[in-house]
A and B are shown apart, each in its own frame.
Chain A
């Protein structure tokens, strides 16, 4: 499908501001390079001379000078990286020094050796007014009948004085087949200095509020539409590392940055495995996909985010966040996807409650995807389809009111728009979801939910009714605020 000739060299440069290195064309002055993106149309036979090159040098000397400058810049960047890692390493060494007491957890003696274990079962009985419903979530209720959404085994334990670990494995049943997924399995540092915390392993990308959370903790039986569109059925989760920093401010302010793999079913906006399927399944957002191996650090998925919280009063707390994702997508070999998000959360809970009731929470998230799609030749129609940028966005807003002990009522509004009224993936769609949940205890719930789903590409709305059940055995820690 692609007729771009990419020089078979590792490219460390980027046309998009990747730190520290120059554009690839300057690595090899004199080389004829065809760009595969409409953004950079340059087909150069010589690289432009950087303006800092002393003018009195000859051409050969100038190339040498260019080479030296590039090396120096790379060297400086490497120094930055080494500096960062040096301080992190010192931090680890600092925390290890003088710690010879074995870690003991408060609790009955057996828990010293065994992790805390729990098992959470989540399933829904329900149905849709149309068999072609649009549920995007892999763990959403999906059938007319009973959906075995999520059976999650959790292990949580302190690993050693410096690390804590948690693992979540989920089983679900799809079309009569049991599937097992590693949802999350990561370690968290307990003792980094300077307010830092390192997390490593397989984890949900900490983008926004809903993506990092688990289906059994949601206030509705299914995930918001925008999350399903941008992150797929299982949420955006990958293996990687995340460093976060708690700022020394009087209010809560946390900065996060993570690097993860960009490929797989759990990253459809990035390197989407549909490329392995035979055509016509080999498409995403109606663009064909190619195999794009992870070769350089440009083929990884980067996330940056900030989260801040203020206690507006003794009973009202606000949390606001902003996140950015930057990663490759496989419509081409250099195409990039960016996803931006903002989130806001307000929680009202009086100081004195009846086992946590009453309370009101209001959560809103808005996301926007900028997806570079590469050009391709449609062999069937013999047309050349130019590169384009697909932009879609959406938001959801939900209010949950715990009005009396054991009961919550919720309402959620979803809105998405991709600007293409004929497409299932990119049309405008609105959904309203009221729900009522009963918690006889903290370890069991029954939820009644109705969905009204109107998508532009369909004449009729879809109605759905669900009754969801959850049971929890064993120790299960509190969820993130």
Chain B
């Protein structure tokens, strides 16, 4: 075979590869049309649960994290990019909850629809009551702080209502054909929320003003809605594990201030809090802050249904010596 023939064959082969490659790229790239099921990717299971409740059959939802994981520290994997590449809508909590792992996923998903600022990007903090906004000097000497406010705002059912409205509005904008169904499901969600909230607040009425200690400063919205007062944290500063000195001070606080319960998420290490609970007699209540944190927490309402029941039972028992 002469050199010319070899080069010609090589040229043809390369040409064929390029045409083939181009076709493959174009075929793969044609995303979902403007009608049909809306593909939604959320950062947490709570957002996924609310989206399913409001969107029904019009949406196909997947969450990047599980309810039993700490949403600050999710491992961003290449497989997440594959899911995000196909998404029509991306929903996150915001307020820097996902700042450690979500932004590079959005930059590299090759999906212009879900880039921050675009139609397919939603942060549900708008319209919600945000607490613990930091004023004055803010820096990392205070630990891993969230200067814009406490991102665990979904732990207040009234905020859940605002989140559902924001998600419903976005779904209607992206799928106007399904507006009627979405509006109906939103109304039904809000009705059930209002009914249940009344009941939950009834449960907590006898314990109004009770003092609690939590592991991380993640229960501010929840405590405010249900009339509880968070007086201290098992973590001395956000993100810093408890030291011996801090534990001693905590034990004093628990007895001196008549703390009724210690509340913590299932993903923190329980050894130290259990030890403190045994020493002081203050019950430790492990509450799932998210859907899927425990197998029985299946919907957004279950988060409060299961968690508040657990708290009330523990405080009842603790109240009797």
Contacts and interface: CB of A to CB of B under 8 A. Distances in A.
Interface string A76-103: 1100100110010000000100010111
Interface stretch (B97-105, B152-160, B166-174, B203-211): B97-105
Contacts of B135: none
A386 interface: no
A191 interface: yes
Contact of B107 (A19, A73, A108, A188): A188
B227 to A, nearest CB: 31
B95 to A, nearest CB: 8
Nearest to B240: A441
A160 B123 CA distance: 20
**Interface magnitude class on chain B:** 35 or more
Contacts of B92: 106
A148 to B, nearest CB: 23
Interface string A342-367: 00000101011111100000000000
A293 B268 CA distance: 61
B104 A480 contact: yes
B115 A481 contact: no
Q: Most chain-A Cβ atoms within 10 A of its Cβ — which of B85, B101, B107? A: B107
Contacts of B24: 247
Contacts of A26: 4
Nearest to A352: B267
Given A87-B26, A108-B147, A478-B101, A80 B115 contact: no
A144 interface: no
Contacts of B190: none
Contact of B117 (A76, A101, A188, A355): A101
B18 A195 contact: no
Given A105-B116, A108-B147, A355 B110 contact: no
B138 to A, nearest CB: 10
Given A22-B7, A441-B239, A84 B77 contact: no
A196 B25 CA distance: 8
Interface string B5-40: 101101100110011001011111110000000000
Interface string B71-95: 0110111110110010000001010
A248 interface: yes
B117 to A, nearest CB: 4
A2 interface: no
A405 B14 CA distance: 51
B117 A351 contact: no
B7 A478 contact: no
Interface string A284-302: 0000000000000000000
Interface in A39-90: 48, 50-52, 73, 76-77, 80, 83-84, 87
A190 interface: yes
Contact of B11 (A20, A107, A477): A20
A208 to B, nearest CB: 16
Contacts of B78: 252, 254, 307, 309, 317, 319, 481
Nearest to B11: A20
B239 A106 contact: no
Contacts of B137: none
A317 B30 CA distance: 28
B108 interface: yes
A197 B117 contact: no
A246 B4 contact: no
B202 interface: no
Contacts of A76: 11, 15
Given A194-B28, A477-B103, A246 B85 contact: yes
A248 to B, nearest CB: 3
A376 B108 CA distance: 47
Contacts, number: 169
Given A51-B5, A251-B82, A405-B241, A105 B117 contact: yes
Q: Most chain-A Cβ atoms within 10 A of its Cβ — which of B5, B26, B100, B112? A: B112
Contacts of B317: none
Given A23-B3, A77-B11, A196-B25, A317 B110 contact: no
A29 to B, nearest CB: 11
Interface stretch (B62-70, B253-261, B297-305): B62-70
Given A104-B116, A355-B239, A311 B77 contact: yes
Given A188-B107, A190-B112, A481-B78, A247 B28 contact: yes
Contacts of A349: 75
B269 interface: yes
A77 B110 CA distance: 28
B178 interface: no
Nearest to A194: B29
B188 interface: no
B85 A84 contact: no
B69 A351 contact: yes
B194 interface: no
A352 B68 contact: yes
B69 A51 contact: no
Nearest to B4: A50
Interface of B: 2-5, 7-8, 10-11, 14-15, 18-19, 22, 24-30, 66, 68-70, 72-73, 75-79, 81-82, 85, 92, 94, 96, 100-101, 103-104, 107-110, 112, 115-119, 123, 140, 144, 147-148, 239-241, 266-269
29 contacts: A21-B11, A26-B4, A48-B2, A50-B5, A73-B11, A76-B15, A80-B19, A83-B22, A103-B115, A103-B117, A105-B117, A106-B92, A161-B117, A190-B107, A190-B112, A246-B82, A246-B109, A252-B82, A309-B78, A311-B77, A317-B78, A317-B79, A319-B78, A351-B68, A352-B68, A352-B69, A353-B69, A441-B140, A441-B239
Interface of A: 17, 19-23, 26, 48, 50-52, 73, 76-77, 80, 83-84, 87, 95, 99, 101-108, 158, 161-162, 164, 188, 190-197, 245-252, 254, 307, 309-311, 317, 319, 347, 349, 351-356, 405, 441-443, 477-478, 480-481
Given A194-B29, A195-B25, 5 more contacts: A21-B11, A51-B5, A247-B24, A252-B81, A317-B75
